[in-house]
C-alpha cells in the first residue's frame, strides 16, 4: 500500500512539474505574457506530491514496513526515533526524495511571492525553469532511484532483490539491515544533510531567475534584486551545513580532524565559494551597474557546482564516507550536468550582446575594484579545488590508473589564497565607491592596522613564532578591528550630530542598514573561523598513550588516569569504553569516555572519541584499542577549537541578519550601503 501511495505521489509531482513547464514556457522564451495564477495548480501538485512522497517514506520507516526495499536496507527494529526519521535521507533514494521536497518548497515560495501580481513574466519564466529541474529529480525517483521498490526476495536481514512495480509480490524480511553505523553515531546526522540540501537547492532559484532573464530578455538588475533573498538564504544554510558537517566529522570519525579535502567536502565547498563571489558581485551590479555578464556566469557555475556535488555524492565514483554505492543514477546526473552547462552557456552566448554593455569601472582603486579582486580570488580558489577534486577521477577514467591529490596540494594553494581573501575582506568594505582617495582609506585602516600589528607582536613574544599563525593573526585581527573601528567612527559622528549616545547610534546604524552590517557580521565570522583554523592546524599537540587500569600519563599539561573499562548495552548498539579521569594541577576536571560503538548487524566497531572543551581549547581522546588489559588511544590538544564552530555559525548568522534588509524593502537600495 505504501508503495502504491508513494509512487503515485511521485507521479503527481512529476505531472505538476511537466504542467508547470508547459504553462510557463511562453513567458520563459519571451513569446507571450502568462498570468501567474495559471501556475497555481501545477505548483500545488508539485508541492503536494513531494510532501506525500516524503511522508510515505517516513511512515514506512516508523512502522517497520520491511516490504519496502528501502526500509529493509536502511532501517532496523530498535533504531532510536531520531535516527529512524533521519534514515529517510540517509541513503540514495531517500536523499533524492528530500531533495525533491526542498525544491518543491522553494518553487512554491517563489510562486507565493509572485502571486500578488497579475503579470510577472520574470517569475513565471523562473518557475518554468524550476519545473525543468523538478522534472529531472522526480523523473529519477520514478525510474532509477525509486524509493518505493518492493522487496521480492528477503534475506536473513534486509532485502536481496527488489521489484520496481508496486504490484510486485512482497517477501518482507523479519528485520532490516539498519543505516550505516557512521550515520547513526551522532545527532548531527539528522541536521547536517538537510541543511546542505536547503543550501544546494536554494541556489537553483537565482539560477532559474537568471535563465528566465536571459530567455525572456529582461534587461538590467531585476533578476538580481528578486533573487538576493534566496541567495542569502541558500548561502546561510550551506554555510551552516558545511560547518555542522565538519563538526560531525570531528566528533564522530575519531581521526582528530574536521576537514580532509575529501572530494565530497570539496563538492560542497566549490558552490559555497562561487555563491560567495556572486553575493558580492551582485551588490556591485545593483549599485553601479557593472559586472552584469560576470554575474550570469557566476550563477550558472554555482548551480552547475551543486549538480556536480550531487553527482560526486550519489554516483559512487569516489570512495568517501559521504558517498553512496555504485548506482545508475550517476550517468543520469552527469548527463543532466552536461545539459545544464551546455544549454545555459549557449543561451548566455546568444544574449551576450544584450548583457555585456555595462559601464566600466571608474577605477580599480575603489570598492568596485576590491569586489572584483574578491571575485577573482574566490573564482581561482574554486577552480583549484575543482581541479584537485576531479583530476584523479579523470585520470582513472581515461588511463585506468589511480592517482591521488592529497592535502599538500590543496594546502599549498588554499593558504595564500585565504590570506589574500581575508586581506581584501578587511580593506574592501571601507573603501569608497568609484574612486578611493588614499587618505580616506588610510584614515579608516590606520588604527586597525596598528592593533593588528600589536596582536601579532604579542603572539610572537608570548606564544609562537609559527609564520602561518602570525600572518593569520595579523589579518584576522585587522578585519575585525577595521569593522569595529568603522562602526565606532560612524556612531561617533552620528552621536555628535544628533546629541545622543554612541550605543544608541550603533543600534540606529545597524537597524538603518542591516544588509551592510549583516555582511560585516559574516566577515567577522570568517575572520574568527580562519583564526581558529590557523590555531588548530599550527599549534596542535598530539601523542599516543597506552594505559593499564590505574595507570596515568601526562599530556599537554593534563594528567590522564585510566580508571576502568566499561560496557553498556543500548537499544541499537553495544558501547565498549574506557573511563579516563582528566586532572590539571592535581584537581579532577572531567571524566571522559572514549569508546567503540558496536552496532547490531555491523561487523566493524565505530571508533568514537571523547572531547573535553574549554575556552583555551579541546582535549581529544580517540581509542584505537580497548580490552581488559588496557587502552591505547591517540590524543590531541587543539587550541581555540571553539573558534572554528563559532566563526562558521556567526558567518551564517550574518547572512540571516542581512535578510532583514530584504524584508524591509524591495527597492535595490537595500542591497548596498550609500
| CATH number for position 174 | 1.20.120
pLDDT band at 326 (very low <50, low <70, confident <90, very high): low
For 170-187, the pLDDT digits (tens) are: 899 989 988 888 888 888
670 lies in some domain: no
4 within domain boundaries = yes
Among 119, 149, 179, the domain boundary falls at: 179
DSSP letters of 456-480?
HHHHHHHT---HHHHHHHHHHHHHH
Torsion of CA 325, 327, 329, 332, to 10 degrees: 120
Same domain, 170 and 138: yes
Do residues 250 and 362 both lie within one domain?
yes
Cell numbers at residue 429, please?
A: 568594505
Same domain for 367 and 244, yes or no, is yes
Domain edge (last residue) among 493, 510, 539:
539
> For residue 492, is pLDDT > 50?
yes
pTM over 0.85: yes
Q: Does one domain contain both 29 and 121?
A: yes
Q: Do residues 109 and 221 both lie within one domain?
A: no
Mean pLDDT of the chain: 89
Helix (H) or strand (E) holding 522: helix 514-538
Indicate if the pLDDT at residue 672 is higher than 70: no
Q: Residues 15, 154: one domain?
A: yes
**Domain region containing 409:** 187-425
290: confidence class by pLDDT, cuts 50, 70, 90: confident
Note whether residue 111 is domain-resident. Answer: yes
* Cα separation, 204 vs 214, whole angstroms: 15
Give yes or no for residue 505 having a pLDDT over 70. Answer: yes
**Do 304 and 342 belong together in one domain?**
yes
Q: Tell me if 659 is assigned to some domain.
A: no
375 & 408 share domain: yes
Confidence of residue 674 (pLDDT cuts 50, 70, 90): very low
Asked if the model's pLDDT at residue 606 lies above 90, the reply is no
- Determine how many CB atoms are found less than 10 A away from the CB of residue 639: 21
Whether 521 and 557 share a structural domain? no
Whether 665 is covered by a domain: the verdict is no
Q: Kindly state the average pLDDT of the residues 96-103.
A: 96
**Is the pLDDT assigned to residue 316 strictly greater than 70?**
no
At residue 200, does pLDDT exceed 90? yes
Least confident span in 28-42, 99-113, 119-133, 496-510: 496-510
**What's 181's DSSP letter?**
G
For the chain, report the end-to-end CA distance as a whole number of angstroms: 60
Q: Is the pLDDT of residue 324 over 60?
A: no
Query: Last residue of a domain, which of 425, 450, 480?
Result: 425
The domain tally of the chain equals 4
More confident residue, 188 or 43: 43
What pLDDT does residue 263 have? 87
- What is the predicted pLDDT for the residue at 298? 95
For the stretch 554-581, what's the b/e string if a residue is b when 16 or more beta carbons lie within 10 angstroms of its beta carbon?
ebbebbbbbeebeeeeeebbebbbbbbe
**Are 548 and 458 in a shared domain?**
no
Least confident piece of the model among 1-5, 418-422, 449-453: 1-5
**Residue 657 included in any domain:** no
Q: Report, in angstroms and rounded to the nearest whole number, the Rg of the chain calculated over CA atoms.
A: 27
Residue 291 burial (CB < 10 Å; 0-12/13-18/19+)? buried
What would the pLDDT profile of 356-405 be if each residue is shown by its tens digit? 766 677 777 888 888 899 999 999 999 999 999 988 888 876 776 677 77
Range of 278-292, 460-474, 563-577, 658-672 with top mean pLDDT: 460-474
Instruction: Read off the pLDDT band of 319 (50, 70, 90).
Output: low
Using the predicted structure, report yes or no on whether residue 306 has a pLDDT greater than 90. yes
647 inside domain: no
Q: What is the pLDDT of residue 41?
A: 96
Q: Return the minimum-mean-pLDDT range out of 102-111, 341-350, 511-520, 645-654.
A: 511-520
Do 238 and 347 have their domain in common? yes
The better pLDDT of the pair 436, 324 is held by 436
Query: Which position has the grid cell 588489559?
Result: 629
Residues 480 and 26: their CA atoms lie apart, in Å, by 50
Residue 664 included in any domain = no
Q: Is the pLDDT of residue 127 over 50?
A: yes
With a cut of 50, say whether residue 669 has pLDDT above it.
Answer: no
Amino acid at each position: 500500500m505504501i508503495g502504491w501511495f508513494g509512487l503515485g505521489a511521485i507521479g503527481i509531482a512529476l505531472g505538476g512539474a511537466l504542467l508547470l513547464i508547459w504553462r510557463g514556457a511562453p513567458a520563459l522564451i519571451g513569446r507571450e505574457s502568462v498570468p501567474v495564477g495559471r501556475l497555481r495548480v501545477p505548483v500545488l501538485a508539485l508541492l503536494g506530491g513531494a510532501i506525500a512522497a516524503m511522508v510515505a517514506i517516513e511512515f514506512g520507516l516508523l512502522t517497520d514496513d520491511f516490504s519496502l526495499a528501502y526500509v529493509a536496507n536502511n532501517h532496523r527494529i530498535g533504531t532510536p526515533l531520531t535516527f529512524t526519521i533521519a534514515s529517510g535521507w540517509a541513503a540514495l533514494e531517500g536523499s533524492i526524495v528530500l531533495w525533491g521536497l526542498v525544491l518543491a518548497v522553494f518553487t512554491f515560495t517563489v510562486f507565493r511571492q509572485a502571486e500578488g501580481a497579475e503579470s510577472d513574466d520574470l517569475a513565471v519564466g523562473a518557475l518554468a525553469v524550476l519545473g525543468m529541474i523538478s522534472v529531472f529529480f522526480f523523473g529519477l525517483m520514478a525510474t532509477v532511484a525509486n524509493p518505493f521498490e518492493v522487496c521480492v526476495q528477503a534475506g536473513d536481514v534486509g532485502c536481496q532483490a527488489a521489484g520496481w512495480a508496486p504490484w510486485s509480490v512482497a517477501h518482507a524480511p523479519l528485520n532490516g539491515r539498519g543505516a550505516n553505523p557512521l550515520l547513526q553515531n551522532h545527532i548531527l546526522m539528522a541536521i547536517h544533510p538537510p541543511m546542505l540540501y536547503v543550501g544546494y537547492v536554494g541556489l537553483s532559484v537565482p539560477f532559474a531567475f537568471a535563465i528566465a532573464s536571459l530567455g525572456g530578455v529582461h534587461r538590467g538588475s531585476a533578476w538580481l534584486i528578486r533573487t538576493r533573498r534566496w541567495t542569502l538564504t541558500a548561502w546561510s544554510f550551506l554555510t551552516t551545513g558545511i560547518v555542522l558537517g565538519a563538526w560531525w566529522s570531528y566528533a564522530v570519525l575519531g581521526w582528530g580532524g574536521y576537514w580532509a579535502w575529501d572530494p565530497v567536502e570539496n563538492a560542497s565547498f566549490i558552490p559555497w565559494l562561487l555563491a560567495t563571489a556572486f553575493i558580492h558581485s551582485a551588490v556591485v551590479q545593483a549599485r553601479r551597474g557593472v559586472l552584469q555578464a560576470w554575474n550570469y556566469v557566476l550563477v550558472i557555475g554555482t548551480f552547475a557546482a551543486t549538480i556536480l556535488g550531487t553527482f560526486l555524492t550519489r554516483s559512487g565514483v569516489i570512495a568517501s564516507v559521504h558517498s553512496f554505492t555504485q548506482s545508475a543514477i550517476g550517468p543520469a546526473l552527469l548527463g543532466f550536468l552536461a545539459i545544464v552547462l551546455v544549454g545555459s552557456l549557449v543561451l548566455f552566448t546568444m544574449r551576450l550582446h544584450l548583457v555585456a554593455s555595462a559601464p566600466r569601472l571608474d577605477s580599480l582603486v575603489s570598492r568596485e575594484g576590491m569586489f572584483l579582486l574578491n571575485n577573482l580570488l574566490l573564482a581561482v580558489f574554486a577552480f583549484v579545488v575543482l581541479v584537485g577534486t576531479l583530476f584523479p577521477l579523470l585520470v582513472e577514467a581515461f588511463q585506468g590508473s589511480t592517482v591521488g591529490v592529497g592535502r599538500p596540494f590543496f594546502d599549498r594553494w588554499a593558504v595564500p589564497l585565504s590570506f589574500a581573501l581575508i586581506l581584501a575582506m578587511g580593506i574592501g568594505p571601507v573603501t569608497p565607491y568609484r574612486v578611493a582617495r588614499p587618505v580616506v582609506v588610510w584614515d579608516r585602516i590606520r588604527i586597525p592596522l596598528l592593533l593588528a600589528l600589536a596582536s601579532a607582536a604579542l603572539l610572537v613574544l608570548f606564544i609562537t613564532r609559527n609564520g602561518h599563525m602570525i600572518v593569520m593573526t595579523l589579518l584576522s585581527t585587522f578585519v575585525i578591528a577595521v569593522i569595529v573601528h568603522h562602526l565606532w567612527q560612524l556612531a561617533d559622528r552620528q552621536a555628535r550630530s544628533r546629541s545622543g549616545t554612541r550605543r544608541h547610534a550603533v543600534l540606529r546604524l545597524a537597524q538603518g542598514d542591516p544588509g551592510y552590517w549583516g555582511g560585516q557580521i559574516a566577515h567577522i565570522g570568517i575572520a574568527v573561523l580562519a583564526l581558529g583554523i590557523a590555531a588548530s592546524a599550527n599549534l596542535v599537540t598530539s601523542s599516543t598513550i597506552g594505559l593499564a587500569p590505574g595507570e596515568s600519563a601526562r599530556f599537554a599539561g593534563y594528567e590522564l588516569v585510566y580508571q576502568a573499562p566499561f560496557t553498556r548495552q543500548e537499544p541499537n548498539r553495544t558501547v565498549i569504553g574506557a573511563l579516563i579521569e582528566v586532572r590539571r594541577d592535581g584537581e579532577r576536571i572531567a571524566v571522559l569516555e572514549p569508546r567503540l560503538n558496536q552496532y547490531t548487524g555491523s561487523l566493524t566497531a565505530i571508533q568514537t572519541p571523547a572531547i573535553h572543551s574549554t575556552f583555551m581549547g579541546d582535549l581529544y581522546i580517540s581509542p584505537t584499542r580497548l580490552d581488559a588489559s588496557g587502552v591505547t588511544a591517540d590524543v590531541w590538544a587543539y587550541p581555540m577549537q571553539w573558534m572554528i564552530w563559532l566563526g562558521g555559525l556567526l558567518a551564517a548568522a550574518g547572512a540571516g541578519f542581512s535578510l532583514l534588509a530584504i524584508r524591509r524593502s524591495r527597492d535595490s537600495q537595500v542591497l548596498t550601503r550609500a
